Amino acid sequence: MRYLKRIIYTLFFAALTINGAKCIAQNKTKNSTGYYIGTNPLAIPLGFSIKEENKRFLPILAGNEYGANVVGGYFFRSNQSLEGRISLSNIHQVAFVGQIHLGTNYFFQKNKTNIDDNGWHLGGYTKYWDFYNRQTKVHFHNICPYFTVGYTFNAKRLLFDFRINQTVAVLSWSSLEHTRGNIAWMLSPWPEFIPVLPTISITINYKLL
């Protein structure tokens, strides 16, 4: 009987230990991964009718995004996320621009098991945008790689992200007949005025998990 009690106690404590380990593992998994969704608020007004001068220069403060936009991401590791961005808008009476961004962010955080401790991060992205002239029915397609440097801080379920974006090059082609694509360095939205000009992005995200 004494040995039977010892065996029962041993199995009981072993079960508690295994269950506790599972709970810890689940908590780590929950804290180290998660989805988020958000928007770039400074890009939204650029989809409305505003002064032409403002519409030309304000995109620098909105990461060259225009109008309605959505940001979605997933922390597949505690210190690394995949992120996609979409924006769709008329930029003036003639042109419509649709953009798709896809990339990853790496966070230099100390706590590798908690996405609530984000801080500074580096990112690498590729952006595709279609500049569509509604009058001529011509599409101007562009693919552009760029990198980012930013900082993210938390306020409960909200993630406030500030980053600087620097484009590198652009591949462009159009739907016009008898034309071909071309690739060139692009370090500024207006290279004829400023050779190197990064843009700024401010994004407000909501953590779903």
- Structure confidence by residue, pLDDT tens digits, 23-58: 444 444 445 578 999 999 999 988 887 776 666 778
- For domain 34-207, the question of CATH label 2.40.160 is answered with yes
CA-nearest of 202, 158, 189 to 44 is 202
- Structure confidence by residue, pLDDT tens digits, 117-133: 679 999 999 999 999 99
pTM equals 0.79
Give the separation between CA 145 and CA 156, rounded to whole angstroms: 32
- Structure confidence by residue, pLDDT tens digits, 74-118: 999 888 999 999 999 988 778 899 999 999 999 987 565 566 667
What are the sequence ranges of the domains in the chain?
Answer: 1-32, 34-207
- Structure confidence by residue, pLDDT tens digits, 148-163: 999 999 888 899 999 9
Mean pLDDT value across residues 169-184 = 91
